Structure 1
Amino acid sequence: MSRLRNNELKDDFDCINEHPVLVTHLLQMEKHAAEVYTRNTFGRVLDEIKSEPKLSIVNCVDDVESVMYTFRKFAGGDKTWNVRYTPSKSIFKCSCKMFETIGIPVLPFI
């Protein structure tokens, strides 16, 4: 139990005192993730941000409240993912539900 507390304190200390080097072309999204997540969780989010160039937009449907993007891997394949962006709430929601599955809370991107 004390090891868990120590790890939590170290994560808190690192979040307050260290700032990661921003390395992707999505600087605003990466910066926001670095500010709201612990370093360990940010590392997992950063891996997803880095894999973004491997995707291409196949379709885009714009309605009154949101925009639905359909993505596919750049090299092809049949699998697609749908991402809904709601600007009024600044929320992204993906059909893969990866954030919910691996325990990363989905926070609005500001």
Structure 2
Amino acid sequence: MDETIASYTWLLEKLLEVMCGRQPSVVVTDGDESMCKDIREVFPSATHRLCAWHFEKNETSNVKEAALRERFNRWLFGDMIVDEFLMEWSDTVEEFGLEESLWANQVFYKKEMWVNAYLREKFCVGIRTTSWCEGVNAIAKNFLQSKGTLFELVQNLELMVKDYRNNELLAQFRTIDGIPVMTTSLESLERDAAETYTRAVFGDVRLEIERVAAVNLVRLGRSLTTKIYTLEDYGFSGRNVIVLFDINMGMMKCSCGRWCRNGYPC
């Protein structure tokens, strides 16, 4: 009925109740202040990140210089470490005179919620925006009408859930029983990924496999049983990426953090 703190608190507590007390690990919102306060109180252990689409929209409204917008987009999506971001932010504040900018100070205060350097190792399965939620809303509109009775509302919600679950079963069937066509030159790697991931995620993994052709090996080192690969993207010499791999421990770690963030290697 409204977007007050009391209403959001009630809503989140009811969500926690139907989830048997299990808190979400990640919450993505448009940055509503009332919701932010309630999430901290009801889901204290959850990582709260701002929707990238809403942040870009807010950024476009408040930042007129194209060069400055590019900086914000780099911080929003780029792979970098926290110290690198803080150094760039300090230089940018001085370059563009943002010391007295209320908006810039506000977004810096919330940097842990939108800067990718702080979120790169949070397991978000690739979700950066609230668009998935909007997708569910679009599905709901096909089943619900404002003129219906409360009884019809419950019936239609049950139909919607059945339709939603049926789509999930179809996707699961295609994953288990379908055999995708191998299209890359690294067929053994691609085939193993096809057996490990769902079809939807496999599409993202295959894009990463295709990008192997654009990676140069700078050097290979070793520390006990761990191999240390120093790599660089073609065309970006000097920007090294460090990858640690230990087959005995079943460990692989890349400085980009995509494995921790999305659940598949870069």
Q: Which has the higher strand share?
A: 1
Amino acid in structure 2 at the alignment position of 1:39: R
Shift of 1:3: 4.2
Alignment partner, residue 82 of structure 1: 242
- Contact (CA 8 Å) 2:226, 2:245: kept in 1 or not? yes
Larger Cα-atom Rg: 2
- Contact (CA 8 Å) 2:258, 2:264: kept in 1 or not? no
Alignment partner, residue 191 of structure 2: 31
- Contact (CA 8 Å) 2:253, 2:259: kept in 1 or not? no
CA distance in 2, matches of 1:48, 1:95: 15
TM-score by length of structure 1 reads 0.82
- Contact (CA 8 Å) 1:41, 1:104: kept in 2 or not? no
- Contact (CA 8 Å) 2:215, 2:233: kept in 1 or not? yes
Structure 1 unaligned segments of length 5 or more: list them: none
Alignment of 1:1-110 (within 5 A): 1-101=161-261, 103-104=262-263
Write out the 4+ residue segments of structure 1 that deviate beyond 4 Å after TM superposition. none
Q: Which has the higher helix share?
A: 2
TM-score by length of structure 2 reads 0.37
- Contact (CA 8 Å) 2:243, 2:253: kept in 1 or not? yes
Matched residue pairs, number? 105
CA distance in 2, matches of 1:68, 1:56: 14
Aligned residues with identical type, % of pairs: 30
Deviations 1:40-99 (A, max 9, x none): 000011111111110101121112211010110122333221111112134322111113
Structure 2 unaligned segments of length 5 or more: list them: 1-160
CA RMSD for the aligned pairs?
Answer: 1.9
Amino acid in structure 2 at the alignment position of 1:45: V
